[in-house]
Amino acid sequence: MTLATLSDVLQPALRDGYAVAGLVTLGWEDMRAFVAAAELEGVPVILQAGPSCRAHTPLPVLGAMFRYLAEHASVPVVAHLDHGYSREDCELALECGFTSVMFDGSRKPLEDNIRETAEIVRLAHAAGASCEGEIGFVGYAGAEASQGTDPDQAALFARETGVDAMAISVGNVHLQTSAAGELDVDRIHAVQTLTTVPLVIHGGSGVSHEQRTMLARQTNICKFNIGTELRHAFGTALRNAVNADPQAFDRVAILKQTHDPVVAAARKVLRVLKGS
């Protein structure tokens, strides 16, 4: 069994100068492909259940799926709740066997974010799990604008909450459809001079592979969340499978054709974050 907590995989990454991918899952086909890719690359992987995934599949089912994959994997697999917006979200995830929860209080006033995140940290640690928090709001492409992380607030947040990982807003945006963004390296360095907590980039699909590699090796960014990039790979493979045979109707036969393309795309994501 290679089920791991977030701290289990991020502390070695922080020490040795690489990053671990938090891959946003939507169903069995992609999460299975992500673990296969991690095994081929020989690296740990974080399987993430975000709000859209949870709206489609109940948390008890997702927890069982993640744990099953981890138990049969040859590399460490983290079962991670992404963007838990309430204590209830995080408590249920922990009850369902998740080994890591992300409490997102980034829209709240600083004092409330610190207090509520600290409560989730205590819950997670009592369950033998890890907790990620967010300071500075990471916006969404075409929607809410980002609010950049203040380094002094980040230091206070890390110290007062005891989080195992800290998501920061440094030019990253959720749901970016092209990897054209450049992160604010000066702000990243300003944050990491004040805290040693492993740092997390949400909206990693909008960051070039070259910058991901540089940041993984030269900064305290230890986790990149990747969703849109791999959803594109899955959608393209599914479209190709359906178009190749308009008479096809067996969903299992159709979905099988997404596996290899998604594995290949995930391997590219994982490879650029590996240590030198």
Superfamily of domain 3-271: Aldolase class I (3.20.20.70)
**For 242-272, how does the pLDDT look when each residue is reduced to its tens digit (9 = 90+)?**
999 989 899 999 999 999 999 999 999 999 9
Answer whether residue 226 shows pLDDT above 90.
Answer: yes
The tens digit of pLDDT for each residue in 55-97 reads: 999 999 999 999 999 999 999 999 999 999 999 999 999 999 9
Q: Residue 264 to residues 3, 141, 271: CA-CA distances in angstroms?
A: 23, 26, 11
DSSP letters spanning the chain: --EE-HHHHHHHHHHHT--EEEEEE-SHHHHHHHHHHHHHHT--EEEEE-HHHHHHS-HHHHHHHHHHHHHT-SS-EEEEEEEE-SHHHHHHHHHTT-SEEEE--TTS-HHHHHHHHHHHHHHHHHTT-EEEEEESB--BTTSSPPBPPPHHHHHHHHHHH--SEEEE-SS--BT-SSS-B---HHHHHHHHTT--SPEEESSGGGB-HHHHHHHHHHSSEEEEEE-HHHHHHHHHHHHHHHHH-TT---HHHHHHHHHHHHHHHHHHHHHTTS--
Residue 164 pLDDT class (50, 70, 90 cuts): very high
| Catalytic residue (one of 82, 89, 104, 164) | 82
User: What digits encode the pLDDT tens for the residues 97-149?
Assistant: 999 999 999 889 999 999 999 999 999 999 999 999 999 877 665 555 556 78
Nearest to 20 by CA among 271, 264, 224, 269: 224
Checking if the pLDDT of 177 tops 60, the result is: no
> What are the structural domain ranges in the chain?
3-271
Q: Is 8 a catalytic residue?
A: no
Look at residue 169 in the predicted model and tell me its pLDDT: 87
